[in-house]
Protein backbone atom coordinates (compact mmCIF):
# COMPACT_ATOMS: atom_id res chain seq x y z
CA UNK A 1 0.00 0.00 0.00
CA UNK A 2 1.22 3.48 -0.84
CA UNK A 3 -0.32 4.86 2.33
CA UNK A 4 1.69 4.02 5.46
CA UNK A 5 0.17 4.23 8.94
CA UNK A 6 2.69 5.59 11.43
CA UNK A 7 0.56 4.95 14.47
CA UNK A 8 3.41 3.08 16.25
CA UNK A 9 5.68 6.14 16.11
CA UNK A 10 2.97 8.44 17.47
CA UNK A 11 2.12 5.97 20.23
CA UNK A 12 5.80 5.76 21.23
CA UNK A 13 6.08 9.58 21.25
CA UNK A 14 3.02 9.93 23.50
CA UNK A 15 4.17 6.91 25.58
CA UNK A 16 0.76 5.29 25.17
CA UNK A 17 -0.08 1.61 24.76
CA UNK A 18 -2.27 0.32 21.95
CA UNK A 19 -4.67 -1.13 24.47
CA UNK A 20 -5.19 2.28 26.10
CA UNK A 21 -5.69 3.97 22.72
CA UNK A 22 -8.19 1.33 21.68
CA UNK A 23 -10.11 1.88 24.90
CA UNK A 24 -10.12 5.69 24.45
CA UNK A 25 -11.28 5.71 20.83
CA UNK A 26 -13.67 2.84 21.39
CA UNK A 27 -12.52 0.17 18.92
CA UNK A 28 -11.30 -3.33 19.58
CA UNK A 29 -7.56 -4.07 19.88
CA UNK A 30 -7.92 -6.49 16.99
CA UNK A 31 -9.16 -3.68 14.73
CA UNK A 32 -6.38 -1.38 15.98
CA UNK A 33 -3.74 -3.98 15.13
CA UNK A 34 -5.29 -4.31 11.62
CA UNK A 35 -4.87 -0.53 11.30
CA UNK A 36 -1.28 -0.63 12.57
CA UNK A 37 -0.20 -3.54 10.37
CA UNK A 38 -1.52 -1.79 7.25
CA UNK A 39 -4.11 -4.45 6.41
CA UNK A 40 -6.93 -1.92 6.70
CA UNK A 41 -8.67 -0.94 3.46
CA UNK A 42 -10.11 2.34 4.74
CA UNK A 43 -10.29 4.54 7.83
CA UNK A 44 -13.48 6.28 8.90
CA UNK A 45 -13.19 10.04 9.51
CA UNK A 46 -14.74 9.50 12.93
CA UNK A 47 -11.98 7.01 13.85
CA UNK A 48 -9.30 9.36 12.52
CA UNK A 49 -10.80 12.23 14.51
CA UNK A 50 -10.84 10.14 17.68
CA UNK A 51 -7.20 9.05 17.17
CA UNK A 52 -6.06 12.63 16.56
CA UNK A 53 -7.95 13.78 19.63
CA UNK A 54 -6.50 11.02 21.82
CA UNK A 55 -2.91 11.47 20.61
CA UNK A 56 -3.18 15.27 20.26
CA UNK A 57 -1.78 15.29 16.73
CA UNK A 58 -2.64 15.95 13.05
CA UNK A 59 -3.68 13.27 10.52
CA UNK A 60 -0.40 13.90 8.68
CA UNK A 61 1.47 12.67 11.76
CA UNK A 62 -0.26 9.29 11.46
CA UNK A 63 -0.62 8.84 7.70
CA UNK A 64 2.14 9.08 5.13
CA UNK A 65 2.18 8.67 1.36
CA UNK A 66 5.07 6.72 -0.18
CA UNK A 67 5.49 6.08 -3.91
CA UNK A 68 5.47 2.32 -4.67
Partner 1 sequence: MIPIFQTILYLTIFSLLSFAIYSIYKKKGLTTFLHGLFSLTFWGGILFLIIAISFTIFTDNDTIETSEKSKLYANTKNVPVRVFLSFNADTKLQFKPNSNLELSSNTDSLAMNSYLNLKTDNWVLSSAIFLNTYLSIIILIFIFFQLKSLFKILSTNLSFSLQLTKKINWIASLLIVWQLSKLIFSIIFGLYYGYVGLNKMQDQNINLSINPRLDIDFTIIIFALSLFVLGKLLKRAHEIQTENDLTI
Q: What residues line the site for partner 1 (CB under 8 A)? A: 27, 31-32, 34-35, 39-44, 47
Nearer to partner 1, 17 or 37 (CB): 37
Least distance in angstroms from the C-beta of 39 to partner 1: 6
Q: How far is the CB of 44 from partner 1 (least distance, A)?
A: 6
Helix (H) / strand (E) containing 8: helix 7-13
Residues 6 or more apart whose CB falls under 8 angstroms from that of 47 comprise 25, 27
The nearer residue to partner 1, 16 or 27, going by C-beta atoms, is 27
d(CA 21, CA 42): 19
Amino acid sequence: MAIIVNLDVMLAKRKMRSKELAAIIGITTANLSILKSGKAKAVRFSTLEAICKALDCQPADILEFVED
